[in-house]
C-alpha cells in the first residue's frame, strides 16, 4: 500500500483540499499504520506547549553575549597571528634581495645581465644535451617499436578522454536533478 502522500499530508500542517481530505479519511480507515500516525499527530497537537523556565530568555541572552565576546577575541587573536606570520614570511622572502638594495644602479644592471647570460647559457647547454640524447635514443630503438608506442599512447589517450567525457556528463546530469 502506498503511504507516502498520506504520511506527508498527516505530518505537514497545511490545509488539504476536500478530495485530499476524503482520500486521507479512506486511507486511514484501511491502513493501521497511517491511522496510528494520525492519532499520534492529534495527541501531539492537543498536548500543552511547554513553557520555558523563569529567566530563560535572560540567561540565553547572557550566554549569547559571552559567546560572541569569546568569538571576537578568537577572531582578533587569529588576525594578529596571521598578520605576524605574513610579515615574517614577507621578511624571509625579501632577505636575500636586501644586499642588492645597497648596490649602485650600474652594479645592479651588471648583476642582472650576468644572471641572464648564465640562464641563457644553461638553457643552451640543456638543449644541446637533450638534442644529442634524443638522436641516440631514436637511432637505438627501431621504427616499428616507435609506431607501436605511438598507437598505444594514442589509444590510451582516447580512452582517457572518453572516460573524462563520460564522467563530466554524469556530473552535469546529477546537478540538473538537484
Residue-wise pLDDT tens digits, 87-145: 999 999 988 888 877 888 898 899 889 999 999 999 999 999 999 999 998 888 888 99
pLDDT at 76: 97
Same domain? 96 vs 143: no
Same domain? 93 vs 153: no
Residue pair 55/24 in contact (Cβ under 8 Å)? The answer is no
- Percentage with pLDDT > 90 across the chain: 42
Same domain? 114 vs 152: yes
Q: Show which of 102, 125, 140 is a domain's final residue.
A: 102
Residue pair 34/10 in contact (Cβ under 8 Å)? The answer is yes
Q: E-assigned strands of the chain?
A: none
Same domain? 161 vs 118: yes
Q: Which domain holds residue 73?
A: 55-102
Same domain? 130 vs 173: yes
Same domain? 168 vs 112: yes
Residue 11: partners with Cβ closer than 8 Å, 6 or more residues away:
37, 41
Q: What is the mean pLDDT of residues 81-88?
A: 97
Same domain? 125 vs 163: yes
Same domain? 130 vs 98: no
Same domain? 4 vs 61: no
Residue pair 11/42 in contact (Cβ under 8 Å)? The answer is no
Same domain? 70 vs 21: no
Contacts 24+ apart (CB under 8 A), 122-131: none
Distances (CA, A) of 102 to 98, 99, 108, 160: 8, 6, 9, 55
pLDDT higher than 80, residue 4: no
Same domain? 120 vs 172: yes
Same domain? 109 vs 98: no
pLDDT higher than 60, residue 175: no
What does the buried/exposed string (b/e) look like for 136-171 if buried means 16 or more CB atoms within 10 Å of the residue's CB? Answer: eeeeeeeeeeeeeeeeeeeeeeeeeeeeeeeeeeee
Domain count, the chain: 3
Amino acid at each position: 500500500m502506498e503511504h507516502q502522500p498520506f504520511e506527508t499530508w498527516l505530518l505537514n500542517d497545511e490545509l488539504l483540499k476536500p478530495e485530499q481530505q476524503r482520500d486521507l479519511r479512506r486511507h486511514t480507515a484501511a491502513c493501521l499504520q497511517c491511522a496510528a500516525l494520525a492519532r499520534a499527530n492529534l495527541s501531539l497537537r492537543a498536548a500543552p506547549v511547554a513553557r520555558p523556565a523563569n529567566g530563560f530568555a535572560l540567561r540565553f541572552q547572557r550566554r549569547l553575549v559571552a559567546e560572541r565576546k569569546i568569538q571576537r577575541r578568537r577572531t582578533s587573536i587569529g588576525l594578529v597571528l596571521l598578520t605576524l606570520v605574513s610579515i615574517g614570511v614577507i621578511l624571509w622572502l625579501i632577505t636575500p634581495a636586501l644586499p642588492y638594495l645597497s648596490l649602485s644602479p650600474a652594479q645592479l644592471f651588471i648583476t642582472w645581465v650576468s644572471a641572464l647570460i648564465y640562464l641563457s647559457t644553461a638553457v643552451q647547454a640543456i638543449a644541446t644535451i637533450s638534442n644529442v640524447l634524443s638522436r641516440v635514443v631514436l637511432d637505438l630503438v627501431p621504427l616499428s617499436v616507435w609506431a607501436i608506442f605511438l598507437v598505444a599512447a594514442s589509444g590510451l589517450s582516447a580512452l582517457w578522454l572518453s572516460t573524462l567525457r563520460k564522467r563530466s556528463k554524469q556530473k552535469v546530469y546529477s546537478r540538473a536533478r538537484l
